[in-house]
Amino acid sequence: MATSPTLRLVRDELYGFARSKVMLVLWVILPAIAIVGYLLFKDNAQLNGGLGEDHQLSANTFMSLILSSLSGTIAALMVAVDIVSERQRKVYELYVIRPIRREAIIWAKFIAVFLCVTIACVVSIALGIAVDTVRGDPFNATIAFDALKALSQLTCVVGLSAAVGVLFGVISRTIVVAVLLILYGGQNLTIVPMIPTYFGVLPDQFWVFQLVSVLMIVALTWLAMVIFRRSQF
C-alpha cells in the first residue's frame, strides 16, 4: 500500500530530528543532570520554597519545572533553525517540482519536533516519578493526576513553542535572526495563554490555559503555512 507524500515527510522529519544530537541531549543527558541536581539540592531552602523539610519539592515536580523552562525553547530553536538552514541550502526548490503541498512541509516539521520533545518530557517525568518512588514516596492516584496535568501543560508549551519556531523560521532569512526572534520575542508569546488569568478576564483554571494555547498553536501554524506558501525559493 502506497504511503502519502505527507506521511512520508512526517516520517522522514521525525526520523531526522530523533537522530539529532540535540534530541540525544534532551532524551538522555538533560534528565540525568536534572536528577543529579535534584538529589544534590533537594534539601535546599530556596528549592523547597522555604517550606522546610516536611514540604520538599518532589523529583517529579522538579523535572516538570526544568522541562517547562527548557523544552519550549529547544523545540522552537530546533524547528526554526532547521527551516532556515534548508532554505539556505536550496532544499525547498526541489519540492516545487514534486507533488507535495507546501503546507505539508510545515506540518511535517511541526509534528516531528512536537513528538520528539514531548517524548523527552514523558521520559523525564517518568524518571522523576521513579526517583520519588525509590525515595519512599508511594505512587498513587493523586501523583498520577498531577503528573498527567503537568505533562498536558508541557505538551501545550512545547506545541506553542514549536508553532512559534515554525513561524519565525519561515519569516527569517538567516539563522541568527531566527534565534534572536525566538529568544527575545518567542518567549513572550508563550506566556500569552496566562495573560487572561493574570488580569482576571478568565478564571484561573487548567482548561483556560490549555484552550488558549491550542488556539494560538493553530493560528500561528496556519499563519506560517500562509507565508510559506507565498514564499519565493
Lookup: cell for 227: 507565508
Over the stretch 61-115, which tens digit does the pLDDT of each residue have? 777 777 777 788 888 888 998 899 888 888 777 666 666 777 888 888 899 899 8
Q: How many domains does the chain have?
A: 1
- Please give the residue range of the domain that contains residue 98: 5-229
Q: What is the pLDDT of residue 52?
A: 47
pLDDT in tens, 137-187: 777 788 788 888 888 888 888 999 999 999 999 998 898 998 888 888 777
Interior angle at CA 64, CA 201 and CA 141, nearest 5: 90
Please report the pLDDT score of residue 45 as a whole number: 46
Q: How far apart are CA 227 and CA 210, in angstroms?
A: 26
Q: What was the pLDDT predicted at 48?
A: 53
| Cα dihedral value 96, 101, 102, 104, nearest 10 | -140
Given pLDDT bands bounded at 50, 70 and 90, which one contains residue 200? low
